[in-house]
Amino acid sequence: MVTRPGAPRTQFVDGPAGPLEILRTGSGDPSTLFVHGLAGSISTTRPYATGVPGRRTFVHLRCHGRSVTPPGPFGYADLAAEVWSVADHQDVRADRALGVSMGAGAIVNGLTRDPDRFERVVLVVPASLDRVRSDAATQALGTLAAHLEAGDLEALTDHLVAGQPESTRADPAVRTWARGQAEQLLASGVARALRVVPEQVPVPDRSLLARVTCPVLVLAQEGDPTHPVAVAEELAGLLPRATLRVSGPGGIMWADRSATRDVVGSFLAGR
């Protein structure tokens, strides 16, 4: 494990394809790993950990943050391998996991091969299951990639604001968040992931999900075309011990932030 110069709180661990950036906080048990979504980051997953006890580890998967951007094609199995490598690391040893969107897909993919790996799992706004999507919401990811490739900070910020719930877009805090996120994305290799991941599916065989016996909390939000409630409902129906919670259109971590933190914290604490 190597500490990144200039940022002592984040560290590198060895992943299957190269170094992965992580942040560790807290102490004691349980140990929970938090995995961001496509074009997300460690900072976008940290709010979910506010009420979670014990050790908390946050990871940047490939093409995100300062983690490796390896050459060649990749899919959800490669992302899952990175999640598992961090979860299994001797300084992490995570027994719980939370994944957002792409991160949820990576966890689900890994569970199809290793269904007993975690004691509890939270899957936040899953975007797809076993079918490639080609709707307007997924096509917008190509626009996001183009803004990144052009290095256009303002267009990127506008795009991120437009992707938030309509009721929140005029909030100055939302634009401040979007600009900060845009700056982080421009410093990463995420444009490549935006070109690759939407063409992949998390689940190779949905029947394998019947083997996942740990409690799973699936979170969805209404009015989010990138993360349809129908996908969350379908996924929750395939997992034997899943609980589905659907927030209103104001957004899981905007209008419903306090309740989401309480639900996630209570679930991962085993209460």
Lowest average pLDDT, out of 4-13, 35-44, 242-251, goes to: 4-13
Q: 2: pLDDT confidence band, cut at 50, 70 and 90?
A: very low
Compute CA distances 151 → 5, 68, 156, 180, whole Å.
25, 20, 8, 14
Tell me which of 9 and 118 has the higher pLDDT.
Answer: 118
Domain ranges, ordered by start, for the chain: 2-131+202-268
Distance (Å, rounded) from C-alpha 271 to C-alpha 267?
A: 6
- Per-residue pLDDT, 254: 76
The beta strands (E) that lie in the chain are given as: 2-3, 10-15, 18-25, 31-35, 55-60, 96-100, 120-124, 216-221, 242-247
pLDDT surpasses 90 at 171:
no
Q: Provide the token pair at 79.
A: 């992302």
Give the right CATH number for 2-131+202-268 from 3.40.50.1820, 3.30.420.40, 3.40.50.300, 3.30.70.360.
3.40.50.1820
Q: Provide the token pair at 143.
A: 């626009």
The beta strands (E) that lie in 105-191 are given as: 120-124
- Per-residue pLDDT, 5: 43
pLDDT surpasses 90 at 267:
yes
Gap between the terminal Cα atoms of the chain: 33
Q: Provide the token pair at 62.
A: 């490939």
What is the reported pTM?
0.91
